[in-house]
Structure 1
């Protein structure tokens, strides 16, 4: 039986944060769950909302020759995301090299994605916490570009602001592209995903 994958979208819980740039990871795993035809629940001790689906040649929601994928949205705040990641890895026996973390990225313009394995935290508290709890930074990252704040606005304030209503459709399109990237990463590997999406 193939080892399952864990796809974690980083964000903050609660309606106050639901449409903010910092919750881009949540948008992506929500779209993955929609494609997979599954809904989230909150299993005890996991510190996250979790949905399980399968991924095969037809994408999420595949049956037959398909690998199990655990989708998760931590219910902790961003700086404690690693608690959920660690609990899920332990429970489902998922190694670090089968973990994909989807997160907002200030250093990439909106409308662009980057897929990578390992690397630093770049000041992102969700990545920092995940690295600390896993004891390794060698997990995959799907970086959803949100761009830099305008003028002298502090990055911390910028990422906690909602995407403008005028961008809502584009935000969902980008979430869909990020799910495509996750599907390709799992099915064909890092090089294939980077060649297609790290444009």
Structure 2
């Protein structure tokens, strides 16, 4: 059973609507009135029996925040679900996964490094790869005017997953 939902993103107005912040965008849609506290190098809240975490360490150092929280509450990797962007999936694809490859995602690499394992659950939001240019620049761009209106639909589909016991789902499942 998931006890900690981690939504990856970068702090600051510059990154607010970026592809890299899709985790934070989902969190803000699902929990618009939650009362956040600053703890664990993060914004932290509790909703029912689940803890929410929005690391404020910037994406590449997310593991620092995750480790501080998991140490405090003694969470195991299989009790964690990380919501993040994924370059390897086309835009519009939402995939659930437990463990597995990190596809070069620096936030996930940091979490794995700090936890010492990658057996946590993941909700991967496809943002696609740029046809040309820098991947680092692409993930920090806002969603296009064609993509942005589709986000609420994708978030509605993802909301259902977050309301079920993910341990009962297949290890990898494409939702959309």
Distance 1:32 1:91, change over 3 A: farther
TM-score (norm 1): 0.81
Once the 2 structures are TM-superposed, how far is the Cα of residue 166 of structure 1 from its aligned partner?
A: 4.3
The alignment status of 1:71 with 2:52, answered yes or no, reads yes
Alignment root-mean-square deviation, CA: 2.0
Distance 1:125 1:192, change over 3 A: closer
In structure 2, list runs of 5 or more residues that go unmatched. Answer: none
Native 8 Å contact 1:116 1:190 kept in 2? no
The alignment status of 1:141 with 2:122, answered yes or no, reads yes
Distance 1:4 1:22, change over 3 A: closer
1:174 aligned partner:
154
Rg: which structure is higher? 1
Once the 2 structures are TM-superposed, how far is the Cα of residue 18 of structure 1 from its aligned partner?
A: 0.4
Native 8 Å contact 2:2 2:165 kept in 1? no
Separation of aligned partners in 2, 1:108 and 1:183: 23
Once the 2 structures are TM-superposed, how far is the Cα of residue 192 of structure 1 from its aligned partner?
A: 9.2
Native 8 Å contact 2:88 2:103 kept in 1? no
Separation of aligned partners in 2, 1:185 and 1:173: 22
Q: Which moved more, 1:160-169 or 1:133-142?
A: 160-169
Residues 25-79 of structure 1 show CA distances to partners (whole Å, capped at 9, x for unaligned) of 1112222323xx5232213xx111112102xxxxxxxxxxxxx111111000111
The alignment status of 1:155 with 2:135, answered yes or no, reads yes
Distance 1:71 1:193, change over 3 A: farther
- Count residues in correspondence: 176
Bigger helix share? 1
Separation of aligned partners in 2, 1:4 and 1:113: 18
